[in-house]
Structure 1
């Protein structure tokens, strides 16, 4: 089932089931617990499991200066949710009209009338409606009056920390993509367009695809092991995020070296999955020192990507 952008497009088969509302940024273990309960309720009702999310995040419109970079783009989020078993994803275009709806209006127009939900599943920190006036306590009362069931799913705790999108964002921003992956349902991924770079990598035996127009959170400056989904395969990759101080360049760039694979990718979109940080970025005393380190980086990245995750 494709992503639904407008409620007028909602097929009859997406009505009358169980519904969860939220941003689901990153699709982490806490989201998976919500989806698991959502699927159980949908099976009991013999109806669909529907996730209603927002595109963009409401904070982008309400407080753009406070809006953090997202962990997932909409299509990626939908793919991850569908992999968990969700039947229908509504990515509602966030606009001022939606944000002006009171909690009761949102519940009546979207949950009851448009989706026809018979059950809801939410986390304990769920808010909805204008100025976040719709609390969990209000939702309990609304669903009771509507004859619907409501499940409040407890958060997931991992190593003494509550799994959340904000925590995962901090980990990725610090370069700890491996720990972030333990909290996500799939390793962290970015996307961008491949553009022409200086071409220096090819002259020393390590050609790279240079990524621009990245619309999600960029991991910290460093060298990473990862994978690239390409032509139906998962290709091992070594990724450099940062400047090239050895050659006197200080602009931050994203350069992806495909391991044991040669492809012409200029002008194409490319997704890159991060598995582990290998090292920091530093200046080398000579080209030979740089090449020796790159060989080591590629060997480690090949090993890590080959082990899977």
Structure 2
């Protein structure tokens, strides 16, 4: 089969699939959690796609929701780089033919590694090959190591390819490294590891309309409380009806006014329109400064003028 880059309608999504349609039979499967779908993940996915092309097979991702860490540690909020809808959107952009999403619950967590191979990989998916990252573990107690997977594949008659870590200036690219970069406001470094700027998607909500009074009407969003992005001012782009618009955004507690719950407030350059209730993607391109408290409204407006100019310069 000729494997073209997937368009959204070509990308099939199966939740807890018990089997696959004939067109996707005997797939090459890239397996992982894939939070962020970063460059390291795409090395695994790209290997699966290349192998699928060579064998004339479809290429699928096998992933899990909720993230296993969230299942095992429900009391610890997890900073997801890509919540489920955004992760599937990113996977669809890689050229894969589809994704199988398994519900990570007590039943799945209780499967030992051998049963996972026989019941999931072979029984449900009928894999022709499996590709995984160097650090992927699966099965009860994380008993399924990359070496176990390779040996199990040898026994069951399907090849396994383990992809080595991808390095960025000597450091391994990982979801945890990207989270750490974002927590420090290093959005350019996060973008380098991701392969594109980190972005969030959220609904535009009604705020206090204060930005409008200041000459900077903003699109206001409440983000997942688990997001650990550094508070501060950012140069951003916002996609509206398929068009990317430049802007400047504040993420934080608004110390000049209320020190409330963290909120994302985005001023979109050269745009006017009603965005309330719209779910918009906002991509973070540059960190401009930390969040500050100002002694007067005039001082705040003067700084917002500076921030807007710096954001326009950063965005080109």
Structure 1 and Structure 2 fold alike (TM over 0.5): yes
TM-score tier by shorter-chain length is: over 0.9
Any idea what SS the aligned residue of 1:223 has? strand
Any idea what SS the aligned residue of 2:256 has? helix
Any idea what SS the aligned residue of 1:240 has? strand
Return the TM-score normalized by structure 2: 0.92
Listed as ranges, the matches of 1:84-233 within 5 Å are 84-214=94-224, 217-233=227-243
Does the aligned pair in 2 maintain the 1:190–1:218 contact within 8 Å? no
Change over 3 Å in CA distance of 1:288–1:66 after alignment to 2: closer
Q: Which residue of 2 aligns with 1:30?
A: 40
Q: Offset at 1:115?
A: 1.3
Q: Offset at 1:10?
A: 3.2
Q: Which residue of 1 aligns with 2:266?
A: 256
Q: Distance in 1 between matches of 2:294 and 2:206?
A: 24
Q: What is the CA RMSD across the aligned residues, in angstroms?
A: 1.7
Does the aligned pair in 2 maintain the 1:143–1:150 contact within 8 Å? yes
Q: Distance in 1 between matches of 2:128 and 2:256?
A: 61
Q: Which residue of 2 aligns with 1:282?
A: 292
Return the TM-score normalized by structure 1: 0.94
Unmatched 5+ stretches in structure 1: none
Q: Distance in 1 between matches of 2:19 and 2:26?
A: 15
Does the aligned pair in 2 maintain the 1:223–1:238 contact within 8 Å? yes
Unmatched 5+ stretches in structure 2: 1-10
Q: Which residue of 1 aligns with 2:7?
A: none
Any idea what SS the aligned residue of 2:233 has? strand
Any idea what SS the aligned residue of 2:262 has? strand
Any idea what SS the aligned residue of 2:181 has? helix
Q: Distance in 1 between matches of 2:221 and 2:280?
A: 8
Any idea what SS the aligned residue of 1:81 has? helix
Q: Distance in 2 between matches of 1:5 and 1:128?
A: 19
Any idea what SS the aligned residue of 1:60 has? helix
Q: Give the paired residue count.
A: 306
